[in-house]
Amino acid sequence: MNEIEILKQYWGHHSFRPLQEEIIRSVLENRDTLALLPTGGGKSLCFQIPALAKEGICIVVSPLIALMKDQVENLKGRGINAVAIYAGMGKREIDILLDNCIYGKIKFLYLSPERLLSPIVKERISYMNVNLIAVDEAHCISQWGYDFRPPYLQIAALREIHPKVPVIALTATATQFVRDDIVEKLALEDAAVYVQSFARKNLSYVVFDLDDKYKKLIDIIKNVGGSGLVYVRNRRETADVALFLKRNNISADFYHAGIEKDERFKKQEDWKRNKIKVMVATNAFGMGIDKPDVRFVVHLDLPESLEAYYQEAGRAGRDEQRAFAVLLANKSDQMALKAKYTDSFPSVEEIKKIYHYLGSFFQLAYGAGEGLNFSFDLADFCKRYQLGVIKTMSALKFLEHDGYITLSENIFLPSRVLFTAGNEDVYRFQIENAAYDPLIKTILRSYGGMFDHYANISESEIAKRLGISFNDVVRMLTNLQELGLLSYLRQTDQPQLQFVRARVDLLHLDTDVKYIELRKKIQLEQINAVLAYSSTFVCRTIQLLAYFDEPDAPKCGACDVCLAEKRNEDVAQLQDKIDFEIATFLQTGPQSLEDLVTEIKTGADSDKLNRIRELLDAGKIKTDGKNYYL
């Protein structure tokens, strides 16, 4: 099948979006390709369609586990075989999935960059018939990017394993400098580069410098209408703002990564289906959600970079209808952003101290822990050792860069079961252990394929069917694991921290001081760009496009700056017209104020009186107290 037939068969579309077809053809010609398409521009199809057109498997590297899982489920829903491997999975589980990629009919293997560090993953990939390597969110490979992820630097190792396989790198936001860095770090050869303009003609960018943001927020929601997103700085603020909106009769809810998975999913679906008008969220919300009819995105706090702002604001108006990206920022916000920058950078001693605390937190002996994964509760860790959250996160990122740990975002992993004993052994066990027979029968009837691969289970559902408690199900499954009958992996909904290297003592902990200084420089430049955008009275689109290396862009005519200029021009034209009528009428001789106001046909009475007063003050007309004359 050719690319258009694949598009019709699996996605039901009859034509491509701008640049998609050119990018797909480039990949099909086995060219290394860099594609910059805006949020909602259809980046995924640019690697999914060529991968389906070729024999073999496509390896997709993505930093966002939630997005990986969404894409895998989406592909499966279209009848396409796809799997994902990410932090938190057990060794045996990964082993089975990798075998399926070598010997089965899997078309897409999604990997978090952390998994590329694993020798078992690298070895198994060498046996796969790989047809394409796709690097999503490719800006993460550049330390000059706004969201640098050190494990992304491992992707180059894939090229060494499969040197003749083409690579496609995709991102929505990258300056020219970052684009060049992506090409270099991924060793793209003679890369075809496709960049769709960052201009969004249907999106009006607006900045308000106000003390009372909440009042303005209500005005925006009521005047714009339709569905919207409100981004705030922290989790507590999401609930506070949503409650405020509800009290003002606006249908609203809140979302952040700390909410339980089922509740998060329900909130997301309610908003997508317009049961909820406004979602108040941290930046954990929105990635991978395709909702075209968002009419406004409001930021109640300054973003940390223009790249992040452009991506989040770009979730408005994907249906190409008029939409608004509003930034509510005052002087205290600017001070807070500068203070956050200062707080972001720990000293070398603080980094060493936090590494030491990690070893204690997970009870790791020196020389132990290599390759071990742990569920990591950041709030609990910071509370136990009385640490600041922002500085701790920064220290963890520096430890990640230096190759000691990796840290993934919050991810929900359901409970999984794999029978490690054979069919006959399980049957014999059921006969000999009648107490476990109902549980084993229920699991085998409810969930398929458990002798070949891990299957997701629900302990509460099993408990309901058996008429026993949740804890009894957990206890019995744990016992069966200890008896060697099955492997049972409990569900988790926390970030996953992995020790890449065995724990070292502080004398042997090397910290890249030059890298810390570089990150300081980059972050300061990003913050200064945000501050300039929020305080400079120049067309917002021109500012954004200049930042993304699109100079000489025309004025958008729709942002707050352009509209203010238009209003000023309209006022000036009105004044000129009134001045002309005043001068023309007074040339016939002195006139009373009443006659003068009556004779002028342009503007309201207040406009006419204002101009008469200003012309008097300027000495352009005169009065004797009774009449006016030139």
CATH number at residue 367: 1.10.10.10
Cα→Cα distances 162→65, 103, 153, 167, 313, Å: 24, 18, 16, 10, 38
User: 299 - beta bridge partners?
Assistant: 231, 327
* CB count in 10 Å sphere of residue 160: 10
Sheet containing strand 203-208, strands side by side = 203-208, 323-328, 294-299, 227-231, 278-281, 252-255
Could you give the strand order of the β-sheet that contains 415-419, starting from the edge strand earlier in sequence? Answer: 455-457, 415-419, 486-489
Q: What pLDDT is attached to residue 493?
A: 66
- Name the CA dihedral angle for 309, 87, 380, 285, rounded to a multiple of 10 degrees: 30
In whole angstroms, give the CA distance from residue 378 to residue 132.
36
Separation between Cα atoms, residue 204 and residue 183, nearest integer Å:
32
Boundaries of domain holding 587? 560-629
Cα distance between residue 252 and residue 489, in whole Å: 36
How far is residue 254's CA from residue 236's CA, in Å, rounded to a whole number?
A: 10
Tens-place pLDDT, residues 276-331? 999 999 887 877 677 889 999 999 999 989 998 998 999 999 888 999 999 999 88
User: Residue 615 is inside which H or E element, if any?
Assistant: helix 605-617
- Cβ neighbors of 221 (< 8 A, separation 6 or more) are 228, 245, 250, 277, 278, 296
Residue-wise pLDDT for 109-164, tens only, equals 999 888 887 788 889 999 999 999 999 999 999 878 777 888 888 898 888 899 99
| Bridge partners of residue 84, in order along the sequence | 110
Residue where a domain terminates, one of 146, 174, 195: 195
Helices (H), 89-147: 91-103, 119-126
pLDDT mean over 449-455? 83
- Residue 243 and residue 299 in one domain: yes
CA atoms within a 13 Å half-sphere pointing along the CA-CB vector of 120: 13
Is the same domain home to 124 and 215? no
- The confidence score (pLDDT) of residue 110 equals 95
Instruction: Give the separation between CA 569 and CA 565, rounded to whole angstroms.
Output: 6
Ramachandran angles phi, psi of 206, nearest 5°:
-135, 140
Residue 209's H or E segment, with its range, is none
Domain for residue 467, yes or no? Answer: yes
**Judgement on whether residues 347 and 468 belong to the same structural domain of the protein:** no
321 and 379 part of one domain? no
User: In one letter, which amino acid is 56?
Assistant: G
Do 464 and 379 sit in the same domain of this protein? no
Q: C-alpha distances in angstroms, 479 versus 185, 466, 474, 482, 486?
A: 48, 17, 9, 5, 9
Q: What is the dihedral of CA 522, 526, 527, 530, to 10 degrees?
A: 170
**Domain assignment of residue 552, yes or no:** no
The string of DSSP letters for 150-208 reads GGGGGGHHHHHHSTTS-EEEEES---HHHHHHHHHHTT-SS-EEEE--S--TTEEEEEE
Is residue 12 located within the same domain as residue 115?
yes
Smallest CA-to-CA distance from 579 within 559, 556, 552, 607 is with 607
Q: Does residue 30 sit in the same domain as residue 162?
A: yes
Residues 184 and 210 in one domain: no
Q: What is the CATH number of the domain that holds 566?
A: 1.10.10
Instruction: Give the tens place of pLDDT for each residue, 422-435.
Output: 889 999 999 999 99
Are 161 and 125 within 8 A, CB to CB?
yes
* Residue count of the chain: 630
Tokens of 321: 């209808």
Q: What values do phi and psi take at 228, rounded to 5? A: -150, 165
- How high does pLDDT run on average in the chain? 89
400 and 422 share a domain?
no
User: CB neighbours (10 Å) of residue 247?
Assistant: 9
In a domain, 52, yes or no: yes
457 vs 442: CA distance, rounded Å: 11
Q: Calculate helix-pair angle for 235-247, 213-224, nearest 10 degrees.
A: 60
Neighbours of 105 (CB within 10 A): 8
Residue 627 CA to residue 147 CA, distance in Å, equals 70
DSSP type of residue 548: T
Note the pLDDT of residue 322: 95
pLDDT digits (tens, 9 = 90+) for 346-399: 999 999 999 999 999 999 999 999 988 888 888 889 999 999 888 998 999 899
Instruction: Tell me which amino acid residue 510 is.
Output: D
* Percentage of the chain exceeding pLDDT 90: 52
Assess if residue 554 is contained within a domain. no
**491 pLDDT higher than 90:** no
Residue 553 lies in a domain: no
Domain match, 65 and 130 both: yes
State the pLDDT at residue 183: 94
Q: Which CATH number is 310's domain given?
A: 3.40.50.300
Residue 535 included in any domain? yes
What is the model's pTM?
0.75
| Total tally of structural domains belonging to the chain | 5
Whether residue 555 lies inside any domain: the answer is no
Whether 317 and 345 share a structural domain: no
Q: Is 161 inside any structural domain?
A: yes
Residue 409: band (very low, low, confident or very high) from pLDDT cuts 50, 70, 90: low
pLDDT digits over 146-157, tens only?
778 888 888 988
What's the rounded Cα separation, in Å, for the pair 573 and 80?
62
Question: What does the pLDDT read at residue 412?
Answer: 63
Q: Using one digit for the tens of pLDDT, what is the confidence trace for 574-625? A: 888 888 888 888 888 888 888 888 888 888 888 888 888 888 888 888 888 8
When comparing pLDDT for 378 and 545, which is higher? 545
Residue 619 CB neighbours (<10 A): 7
Q: Are residues 136 and 167 in the same domain?
A: yes
